[in-house]
Amino acid sequence: MEKRRVVITGLGIISPVGSGTQKFWKALLAGQSGIGPITRFDASQFDCRIAGEVKDFNPLDHFSTKEARNLAPFVQYAAVTSDEAIKHAKLDLKNIDLHRFGILIGSGIGSIETLEHEYQKYLEKGPSKISPHFIPKIIINEAAGQVSIRTGARGPSTCITTACSTATNAIGDAFRFIQYGDADIMIAGGTESATTVLGIGGFCALKALTKNNDHPEKASRPFDLNRDGFIMAEGAGVAVLESLEHAKMRHAPILAEMVGYGRTSDAYHITAPESTGAGAAKAMELAIHDAGFAPKDISYINAHGTSTKLNDMVETLAIKTVFKDLAKKIPVSSTKSMTGHLLGAAGGVEFAACVCAIQENIVPPTMNYETFDPDCDLDYVPNAARKIQVTAAMSNSLGFGGHNASIIVKKFHE
């Protein structure tokens, strides 16, 4: 069976640096930070007191009061970004086969906020006060389910959770669904809202978060010698993927073509990446092979780049394993230096950054890169966006549990 070509026709973004794809992209190119003091709760007792909160989202702009009360924030984010992506793709839901239209949206954690709230109600008032909406609000598949309900999509509707690789795996798996004929159109990506007491507290307990609380906008510094941990963030990133035939049939705007997907497991540790980066390297190699490319064909890499000591070193090693002598010539940047780490949604917003880079031939910077680390010696596009010819871009994601995923998009040509 010959695999079908898959194109990207729409994007939707909610992020700490701005909601809406254009606002998000302009902020990245300008090097703007979305990191600031935590406002959702009193974080004064926590080692990390900063996060990438979404600042320009009001649920009542998109939902009724009842809907806003009964839908968890991560589900709301998925619904609103899907609305944007559908509009961006000029997709008329009345004129497509809804049985060939699917949803694949994941989350790393789901609604930890709801767990906290309902457990507190139980402690204070007993089990009779637990909300009947409790379970629907916390289960991760409700993001895809709600988007399916709102759009009428009756094709594959599913979710995935692979920690910080979630959105990349979701986009990659949706790509496969279309390639092999299970759907003509998919909305795919990730969503997250876990900047809560237990979310922040849990990652603090793992010693994974930065303690650079006095300078929030400078705290996320991927690949810099003085990095000391990542910054929790929230939001969502989704894309409309479509078979080329279907997109052409409806005269859709084609932003880029998706061509490669690779995923592996380290089979090593519950949180740490394997120290040689072999698993991450294999995922990149599989994506390159899947695209029918050679390493020299990649113009830009959007790195996982979390700003943790081990992750940044291991990803650098993996890139050098795959690209060898070319590794130091390929621009590599981490947009987490501005957005923070959106966990299960990270791969979605970073995929969007790759698509925008291809469209405009400019790559976003790694901000706060000030001090060279001998273990991180690639071209990280420090502190300023760079105009280059971007013919193909790779996005990497590495998740707790050893999940590695890489996807490749390229300029669209007939």
Amino acid at 175: F
The predicted model scores a pTM of: 0.97
Query: Residue 2: which pLDDT band, with cuts at 50, 70 and 90?
Result: confident
Residue 308 is encoded by which pair of tokens? 């943790």
Model pLDDT for residues 235-272, shown as the tens digit of each residue: 999 999 999 999 999 999 999 999 999 999 999 999 99
Spatial distance between the Cα atoms of 184 and 38, rounded to a whole number of angstroms: 41
Q: Is the confidence at residue 1, as pLDDT, over 80?
A: no
Residue 258 is encoded by which pair of tokens? 């998706």
pLDDT of residue 395: 98
For residues 305 and 315, the answer to whether their CB atoms sit within 8 Å is yes
Spatial distance between the Cα atoms of 399 and 397, rounded to a whole number of angstroms: 7
Amino acid at 395: S
Helix/strand/coil for 153: coil
Task: For tokens 């606002």, name the residue.
Answer: 23
Q: Which CATH number fits domain 261-410: 3.40.50.80, 3.20.20.70, 3.40.47.10, 3.40.309.10?
A: 3.40.47.10
Spatial distance between the Cα atoms of 356 and 13, rounded to a whole number of angstroms: 12
Q: Is the confidence at residue 414, as pLDDT, over 90?
A: no
Q: Which CATH number fits domain 6-249: 3.20.20.80, 3.40.800.20, 3.40.47.10, 3.40.30.10?
A: 3.40.47.10
Helix/strand/coil for 273: coil
Neighbours of 290 (CB within 10 A): 20
Cross-strand pairs, 10:
240
Burial environment of residue 86 by CB neighbours within 10 A (0 to 12, 13 to 18, 19 or more)? buried
* % of the chain exceeding 90 in pLDDT: 99
Q: How far apart are the first and last CA of the chain?
A: 21
Burial environment of residue 71 by CB neighbours within 10 A (0 to 12, 13 to 18, 19 or more)? buried
Model pLDDT for residues 292-324, shown as the tens digit of each residue: 999 999 999 999 999 999 999 999 999 999 999
The mean pLDDT value for 59-66 works out to 96
Active-site positions read 164, 304, 341
For residues 233 and 342, the answer to whether their CB atoms sit within 8 Å is yes
Q: Is the confidence at residue 140, as pLDDT, over 80?
A: yes
Residue 12: HSE in the Cβ half-sphere, 13 Å Cα cutoff = 29
Cross-strand pairs, 12:
238
Spatial distance between the Cα atoms of 80 and 64, rounded to a whole number of angstroms: 13
Which DSSP string corresponds to 34-91? Answer: --EE--SS--TTSS--EEB---S--GGGTS-HHHHHHS-HHHHHHHHHHHHHHHHTT-
Q: How far is C-alpha 98 from the chain's CA centre?
A: 26
Domain with CATH 3.40.47.10 in the chain: 6-249, 261-410
Model pLDDT for residues 145-193, shown as the tens digit of each residue: 999 999 999 999 999 999 999 999 999 999 999 999 999 999 999 999 9
Q: Which phi and psi (to 5°) does residue 188 adopt?
A: -140, 145
pLDDT of residue 242: 98
